């Protein structure tokens, strides 16, 4: 029994998360009923709330102001939501979390403005912490996210990119907000500088693991499980870790390499060609190799969690890192 | 001579503005040379820098930290630039300040991300002031801007809107940032609460006057003067003050009203119909009536400037208010 209880971070955090939820819904309200319903639906469909959980856990280190932690936790989740809204517009995605995107229901101009509105609301939550340090991290995290997304747009279509290119991109796109969440939480929780830095690294590594697993799942699952079609990244021409690993095992002059190049560059007009490349990548072992990378990041994160002296909190941080990679099981 | 010198706020502020410019260019740099050039071009084409000037003037009230003022001034200008980038995407505008928009040179997804990037950079400048109060105003100003833009999208197409609807919208879209600039400057300048509120009202009124004049100029001038076609708002279906005043003088059953309704709702397929309605509005006296409204706001702003005890600063605030309406002469 004890084991089960201490292992269930999501149950333990439920009461905090309900309060985060209230703040989120408050911030998501706009004056136009139809739009307000769409945004609320999007905010409510928000999955496991990993970023708020990491922020709240990182804040439990020393003396902390609970109310400020909750506000900041709502802030990072709303920043995440805002960035998803714009990301879906950029990708022209029709589904997200199994639901139609705003993008598929509103003119793109309205979606841009609604994303901006959510950014503004998230910035207001960050400002409400009244901590210049927290606000500074919040703003630089947003810059990191944009940098990652710009890299995805301008660099991600290259088959010859290095592992470092990929990691730099997913740090910006995903891990930066996990890192920022941990750092903001630790600062609000009056952690020491050593703890702040260790928790920031913890967040970074959990975020890296999270995105690699996401990129693997994109190859594994279709619409039902993930809320979008399998091989979506490839169709968009986005080269992720499984493709990098797969491509590194191909001769540049092979027909498989030419086929992959066709799909990535969007020059393929043969029906079923994307599916075939997806199957080739699945068969190559690149998905398992990618997952081993994700596990390395998760292991590093768990080691960083050791800095937290409160055992209960440390255990839950470890549990979150495990959860992130276990999603692929 | 003396009179000319004290009247030329732009000359007086030149050295400060050069420093603001440096910070702007620093913040606008991104890692992709082609994109970096586009953003730099956009930032450099930035007109009179009215928002930074208002912030800097409002900050000259008492003891002020010059460096913090310059940082905040760059922040408001960059926030303005970011919002223009998204606004042009929403409007699908091809020209801005006489130059091609990013929107006309990059895929819309890239423009969304670049706008976000500029938002992030502007938030970093706001955070660099290390003032929770300033950051709070910055964030709520961004929310006001989004609210105004959403209103423009969802409400601005109605011919039966009231003057209050219009004013609320242009407050959000434009005047809120003038108001926020004055307020942030006053706070950084350690002004009293009375002065902060008076300067905020000053900014609001200058911003209202500015937008009304902009809406009048949209009817007056074509591509060369303004950098976009005449009657652009009407073509977009956006009803502004001149159209509201003109429509209020028409019988609902008149053919002129039907023609106006056609143009606003985008149902007009007759070539030259927009031009004809633009000419009708010019001939109706609605432009002059609108300018009188703008002057009322400018006069109110000048009265608020009286709160500033330093005569030189007060004079320059008055000069800015005059400049905003004199643009139409």
How far is the C-alpha of B320 from the C-alpha of B329, rounded, in Å?
A: 15
Neighboring chain A residues of B135 at a CB cutoff of 8 Å: 123, 126-127, 132, 135
Which one of B35, B119, B124 has the shortest CB-CB distance to A140?
B124
Residues facing A133 on adjacent strands: none
Assess whether pLDDT exceeds 60 at residue B276: yes
Answer whether residue A223 is part of any domain: yes
How far is the C-alpha of B149 from the C-alpha of A113, rounded, in Å?
A: 7
Please give the pLDDT value at position A293.
97
| Owner of token pair 């599916």 | A275
Instruction: Check residues B259 and A90 and name the one with the higher pLDDT.
Output: B259
Please give the pLDDT value at position B7.
56
Give residue-wise pLDDT tens across range B278-289.
999 999 999 999
Assess whether pLDDT exceeds 80 at residue B133: yes
How far is the C-alpha of B121 from the C-alpha of A119, rounded, in Å?
A: 13
Which one of B115, B132, B142 has the shortest CB-CB distance to A123?
B142
Q: Put residue B189 in one of left, alpha, beta given phi > 0 → left and psi -120 to 50 → alpha.
A: alpha
For the segment B4-10, the average pLDDT, to the nearest whole number, is 65
Q: How far is CA B88 from CA A111, A147, A223, B36, B94, in A?
A: 14, 21, 34, 18, 8
Give residue-wise pLDDT tens across range B161-179.
899 999 999 999 999 999 9
B 69-128 residues with CB < 8 A to A:
83, 86, 89-92, 108-110, 112-117, 119-121, 123-124, 126-128
A 199-238 residues with CB < 8 A to B:
none
Please give the pLDDT value at position B114.
87
Q: How many domains in chain B?
A: 1
B149 at A interface, C-beta within 8 A = yes
Answer whether residue A30 is part of any domain: yes
Q: What is the CATH number of the domain that holds A228?
A: 1.10.600.10
- Alpha-helical runs (H) found in B221-254: 223-226, 232-235, 241-248
A322's CB contacts (< 8 A; 6+ apart) are A298, A302
Please give the pLDDT value at position A103.
72
How far is the C-alpha of B175 from the C-alpha of B193, rounded, in Å?
A: 20
Give residue-wise pLDDT tens across range B306-322.
999 899 999 999 999 99
B109/A150 Cβ within 8 A: no
φ/ψ of residue A191, rounded to 5:
-70, 160
- List the domain range (segments joined by +) for residue A242: 13-315
Answer whether residue A69 is part of any domain: yes
- Alpha-helical runs (H) found in chain B: 2-7, 9-12, 14-28, 33-44, 50-58, 66-91, 108-128, 132-154, 163-170, 176-188, 193-220, 223-226, 232-235, 241-248, 255-265, 273-283, 286-305, 311-326
Please give the pLDDT value at position B4.
42
Answer whether residue A214 is part of any domain: yes
Give residue-wise pLDDT tens across range B10-69.
899 999 999 999 999 998 887 777 778 878 888 887 788 999 999 999 999 888 899 999
Answer whether residue A4 is part of any domain: no
- Please give the residue of chain B at the shortest CA–CA distance from A133: B130
Residue burial B13-25, b: 16+ Cβ < 10 Å; e: rest: beebbebbbebbe
Interface test with B, best of A32, A113, A131 (most B CBs within 10 A): A113
Helix (H, G, I), strand (E, B) or coil at B31: coil
Percent of the residues in chain B that have a pLDDT greater than 70, as a whole number: 93
Percent of the residues in chain B that have a pLDDT greater than 90, as a whole number: 63
**Six-digit token pair at B277?**
């309605």
For residue B211, which of B320, B101, B324, B43 has the smallest C-alpha distance? B324
Burial of B101 (0-12, 13-18, 19+ CB in 10 A): buried
How far is the C-alpha of B163 from the C-alpha of B149, rounded, in Å?
A: 17
Please give the pLDDT value at position A71.
97
Answer whether residue A42 is part of any domain: yes
Q: How far is CA A185 from CA A48, A139, A175, A324, B63, in A?
A: 18, 15, 15, 19, 34
Give pTM, 2 decimals: 0.89
Neighboring chain B residues of A129 at a CB cutoff of 8 Å: 132
Which one of B109, B119, B154 has the shortest CB-CB distance to A153?
B109
B127/A154 Cβ within 8 A: no
Secondary structure of chain A as H, E, C letters = CHHHHHHCHHHHCHHHHHHHHHHHHHHHCCCCHHHHHHHHHHHHCCCCCHHHHHHHHHHCCCCCCHHHHHHHHHHHHHHHHHHHHHHHHHHCCCEECCEECHHHCCCHHHHHHHHHHHHHHHHHHHHHCCCHHHHHHHHHHHHHHHHHHHHHHHCCCCCCCCHHHHHHHHHHHHHHHHHHHHHHHHHHCCCCHHHHHHHHHHHHHHHHHHHHHHHHHHHHCCHHHHCCCCCHHHHCCCCCHHHHHHHHCCCCCCHHHHHHHHHHCCCCCCCCHHHHHHHHHHHCCHHHHHHHHHHHHHHHHHHHHCCCCCHHHHHHHHHHHHHHHHCCC
Interface ipTM > 0.90: no
B146/A120 Cβ within 8 A: yes
Please give the pLDDT value at position A327.
82
Answer whether residue A231 is part of any domain: yes
CB atoms within 10 A of CB B32: 17
**Six-digit token pair at B32?**
């992709």
Report which DSSP code applies to B100.
Answer: E
How far is the C-alpha of B93 from the C-alpha of B112, rounded, in Å?
A: 14
A142/B126 Cβ within 8 A: no
Cα angle, residue A295 at apex, residues A289 and A297 outer, rounded to 5°? 115
B36 at A interface, C-beta within 8 A = no
**Six-digit token pair at A234?**
């490839």
A150/B114 Cβ within 8 A: yes
Give residue-wise pLDDT tens across range B140-162.
999 999 989 888 888 888 888 89
For residue A79, which of A35, A127, A38, A31 has the smallest C-alpha distance? A127
Please give the pLDDT value at position A172.
96
Answer whether residue A323 is part of any domain: no
For the segment B258-274, the average pLDDT, to the nearest whole number, is 86
Give residue-wise pLDDT tens across range B73-113.
999 999 999 998 888 777 777 777 667 777 777 777 788 88
Please give the pLDDT value at position B222.
63
Q: What residues of chain A score a pLDDT lower than 70?
A: 1-7, 95, 97-98, 222-229, 328-329
B150 at A interface, C-beta within 8 A = yes
């Amino acid at each position: 029994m004890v084991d089960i209880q201490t292992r269930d971070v999501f149950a333990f955090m439920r009461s905090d998360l309900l309060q985060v939820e209230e703040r989120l819904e408050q911030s998501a309200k706009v004056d136009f009923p139809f739009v307000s319903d769409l945004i609320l639906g999007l905010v409510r469909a928000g999955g496991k709330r990993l970023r708020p959980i990491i922020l709240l856990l990182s804040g439990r280190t020393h003396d902390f102001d609970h109310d400020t932690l909750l506000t900041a936790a709502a802030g990072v989740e709303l920043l995440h939501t805002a960035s998803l809204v714009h990301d879906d517009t950029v990708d022209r995605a029709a589904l997200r979390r199994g639901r139609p995107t705003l993008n598929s229901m509103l003119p793109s101009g309205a979606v841009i403005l609604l994303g901006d509105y959510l950014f503004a609301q998230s910035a207001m939550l960050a400002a409400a912490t009244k901590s210049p340090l927290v606000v500074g991290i919040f703003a630089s995290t947003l810059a990191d996210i944009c940098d990652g997304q710009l890299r995805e747009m301008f660099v991600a279509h290259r088959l010859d990119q290095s592992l470092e290119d990929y990691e730099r991109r997913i740090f910006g796109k995903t891990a930066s907000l996990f890192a920022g969440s941990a750092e903001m939480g630790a600062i609000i929780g009056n952690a020491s500088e050593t703890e702040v830095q260790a928790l920031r690294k913890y967040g970074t590594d959990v975020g890296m693991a999270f995105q690699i697993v996401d990129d693997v799942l994109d190859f594994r699952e279709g619409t039902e499980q993930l809320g979008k079609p399998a091989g979506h990244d490839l169709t968009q021409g986005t080269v992720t870790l499984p493709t990098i690993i797969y491509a590194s095992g191909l001769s540049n002059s092979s027909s498989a390499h030419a086929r992959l190049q066709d799909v990535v560059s969007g020059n393929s007009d043969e029906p079923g060609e994307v599916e075939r490349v997806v199957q080739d990548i699945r068969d190559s072992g690149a998905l398992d190799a990618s997952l081993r990378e994700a596990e390395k990041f998760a292991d590093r994160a768990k080691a960083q969690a050791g800095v937290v002296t409160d055992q209960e909190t440390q255990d839950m941080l470890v549990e979150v890192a495990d959860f992130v990679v276990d999603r692929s099981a």
